[in-house]
Chain A
Amino acid sequence: MKAEEVMIIPQDFAAGSKKALPIVLGYLPIGFAYGSLAALAGISLPCIVLMSLLVFAGSAQFITVSMLAAGAGAVSVLITVFLVNLRHLLLSASLAPYLQRLPRRVLPLLAFWLTDESYAVAYGELREGERSHLFLLGLFGTAYAGWAVSGVLGGLFGSLFNSTTAAFAMEYALYAMFIFLLVIQAGDRKLLCAALLAGLLSLLFYFLLPGSWYIILATVVTATVGVLVEKWQGSF
């Protein structure tokens, strides 16, 4: 290996890692809340950490903990978690065209690390230009580490620490990040219209349907309308 290559590898990883900073900031209060809730439900620290390390999905982990605390059966927990995480199908599909040039051996790990937040940041980066697999591993891996650590902290200190004002402000970090990413991505009129449509539809479905179906449905309907409009205009 040439000296140059040795230099580039950690640089790419570090650059990706740096881009995960806002994600980690947003994960801290949520992971902390998950850890404290799980500890309160009588789940041992090793199991709290194991769930963060193996499942790595915020809403699903919250639901699992609250369902188990309420005495739900294993099968109903699994079905609920599956449905809640079904939206990852869309994120995974949307990222795939950009991952075709990466080494195939990193794909199973990148897929495992896919979350709403890491997806949104990665998509923005990949749209700007080519990013190496090390960059993406740095980005996704740092978010994962942040999630695991915040869960441990919640499990250990959840019962001691209680500042709702600070937690409320930190939880907003994720929405601020989503708004930033939307502003960056809705660059042309078509995407801006799509974002408006999806926002209205998600509110409609949010009030009409149970669970988190509103995200999937609003996205599927919006993308389909977009394709039909482009087809009708003869764009492809």
Chain B
Amino acid sequence: MARLLLIILGCALVTYVPRFFPIYILTRIKIPKAVAVWLRYVPAAVLAALIAPGITTAEGRFYLSLSNSYLLASIPVFFVAWRTRNMLLSVCTGMAAVLVLQLV
């Protein structure tokens, strides 16, 4: 029990440091232009890096198939996001699409 508590506290600490350190430093200094340009690419790159393996793989392998419901559902999500710019609608479209694809 005491060991588990120490592990939880340790996990909390090693998780917090990388979350806080850049915010602490970069809100204090004037960010150089090259760094600012670099940081502008981070959001699109992180999102694409999270999405690509998430929807095209399963259990560590490529899963490019009509039975991959995550991949197929991404098509209507893309169009709804693009046309409506409404997050909740996009998310609900995606969940409904996966549900329907699972049931057929």
Contact = CB atoms under 8 A, between A and B. Distances in A.
Contacts of B20: 92, 107-108, 111-112
Interface residues of A, number: 95
B52 A96 contact: no
Interface stretch (A9-17, A141-149, A150-158, A211-219): A211-219
Contacts of B74: 175-176, 179
A43 B44 contact: no
A45 interface: no
A107 B27 contact: yes
B77 A89 contact: no
Given A22-B88, A180-B87, A199-B52, A68 B7 contact: yes
Interface in B63-104: 69-70, 73-74, 77-78, 81-82, 85, 87-88, 90-91, 93-96, 98-99, 102-103
Given A86-B18, A104-B27, A186 B78 contact: no
A40 interface: no
**Among B44, B95, B103: residue with most chain A CB under 10 A:** B44
B42 A60 contact: no
Interface string A68-101: 1000001001100110011111111111110110
Given A173-B91, A173-B95, A176-B95, A219 B46 contact: yes
**Among A61, A123, A195: residue with most chain B CB under 10 A:** A195
A130 interface: no
Given A77-B7, A99-B23, 13 more contacts: A47-B4, A51-B8, A78-B14, A85-B18, A92-B22, A99-B27, A110-B23, A120-B46, A177-B90, A199-B52, A218-B48, A219-B42, A226-B37
Give the 3 A-B residue pairs with the shortest CB-CB distance, closest first. A176-B94, A96-B26, A202-B49
